[in-house]
Amino acid sequence: MAASTWRKSSHSGTHNCVEVGRVGDRAAVRDTKDRAAGYFTANREQWSSFVAAIKGGKFDA
C-alpha cells in the first residue's frame, strides 16, 4: 500500500531529513535522501510514545 502525501518537518529547514505520511491507520516514516529505500510504520500507540519522547527532550543532543 502506498503512503498518502509525504510531509517534511518544518524543523528540517533546507536540510534533507525524514518525511512522515500515512499508510492505512499507521504513521509512515522515510528518509528524504533515500526515498527508494522504503519506509517503516508505527501504530498509534508507538507513534504517540515517540512524539512524547521527542517533546520531552529524550533525543536532544
Predicted confidence at residue 1, as pLDDT, reads: 63
Dihedral of alpha carbons 30, 32, 33, 34, sign: positive
Predicted confidence at residue 45, as pLDDT, reads: 97
Ranges of residues in the chain whose predicted pLDDT is under 50: none
Mention every residue, 6+ apart, whose C-beta is less than 8 A from residue 1: 23, 24
For residue 13, how far is the Cα from the chain centroid? 15
Using an 8 Å Cβ cutoff, are 43 and 61 in contact?
A: no
Other Cβ atoms less than 10 A from the Cβ of 47: the count is 16
